[in-house]
Amino acid sequence: MAYNIAIDGPAGAGKSTIAKKVSANLGFVYVDTGAMYRAMAVYFLDNGIDTDNEEEVGKACNDVRIVIEYKDGAQQVILNGDNITGRLRTEEVGNTASKTAVYPEVRKKLVELQKELARTTDVVMDGRDIGTCVLPDAICKIYLTASVETRALRRLNELQEKGVAADLEVIKKDIADRDYRDMNRDVSPLKQADDAVLVDSSDMGIEEVTEKIISIFKEKAGK
């Protein structure tokens, strides 16, 4: 049986950072769902799919198979047998991924591929609805959050380190607005699964959060 860890939570809670650390520590596969949307975009671009045509995009989804593998510790994304990892970060692919991610058929196909991967592989997956929709049977579900203030300060520090001027109050408003949108959207809104463990990282460091989640997993898995 494959072990699955689902980490959900609002934007800026540190889900991806923590999920990568937890997976590395346990030797699990970290499923980068964003990379899967980008791989889908590569397929649409390579096959001349009209991304403004939702029906055409929906039909094209049937021919896509995406697998995530790890080679020497680095994530490799395989699209229909071809390693396309080096193409995922281009502007064109990013824009196409963002544009097509809103189509229900794209999301449906990716959820199907994610479930398939999780059936046979020990995975850590993070997002907004992993524990509620994608991996409802995950042995360990975490709802990782932090106060709006903490998340805004983290974002401000990130931007300042890159030399980007930013206003804390504007960032706080953006985060609060995004929380509201994510929690109130019609399809798969952000919410804590009934059986998820709440982890508030407001006053915790990255290592502390990682250790806490690993200990929750070990307890759930009886390890």
H runs (alpha helix) in the chain: 15-26, 33-46, 54-60, 91-100, 104-120, 148-161, 168-184, 206-221
Question: Could you tell me which residues come within 8 angstroms of residue 144 by beta carbon, excluding any fewer than 6 positions away?
Answer: 7, 8, 9, 13, 14, 15, 18, 199, 201, 209, 213
State residue 184's pLDDT score: 86
State residue 34's pLDDT score: 84
Q: What is the pLDDT of residues 151-210, one digit of tens each?
A: 999 989 988 998 988 899 999 998 999 888 888 877 778 889 999 999 999 999 999 999
Domain boundary residue among 86, 121, 156?
A: 121
Count of domains in the chain? 2
The answer on pLDDT for 73 being more than 80 is no
State residue 215's pLDDT score: 97
Check whether residue 104 and residue 180 sit in a common domain: no
Contact between residue 80 and residue 43 where contact means Cβ atoms under 8 Å apart: yes
Check whether residue 145 and residue 203 sit in a common domain: yes
Which one, of 90, 113, 102, lies nearest residue 32 by Cα?
113
Q: What is the pLDDT of residues 3-61, one digit of tens each?
A: 999 999 998 899 989 999 999 999 999 988 889 999 999 999 999 999 999 999 999 99
- Helix axis angle, 206-221 relative to 15-26, nearest 10°? 50
Query: Which range marks the domain in which residue 81 is found?
Result: 32-121
Check whether residue 130 and residue 177 sit in a common domain: yes
Any idea what the CATH number is for the domain that residue 171 is in?
3.40.50.300
Buried b (16+ CB within 10 A) or exposed e, 52-89: eeeeebbebbeebebbbeeeeeebebebeeeebbebbe
Domain boundary residue among 121, 136, 153?
A: 121
CA angle 50, 54, 55 (to 5 degrees): 95
Check whether residue 36 and residue 22 sit in a common domain: no
Domain boundary residue among 56, 86, 121?
A: 121
Check whether residue 9 and residue 46 sit in a common domain: no
Please tell me which residue, 75 or 6, carries the higher pLDDT value. 6
State residue 20's pLDDT score: 92
Residue 85 DSSP label? G
At 102, list the tokens.
Answer: 């809103």
State residue 149's pLDDT score: 95
Q: What is the separation, in whole angstroms, between the first and last Cα of the chain?
A: 14
Interval 147-153 mean pLDDT: 95
Check whether residue 6 and residue 47 sit in a common domain: no
State residue 192's pLDDT score: 93
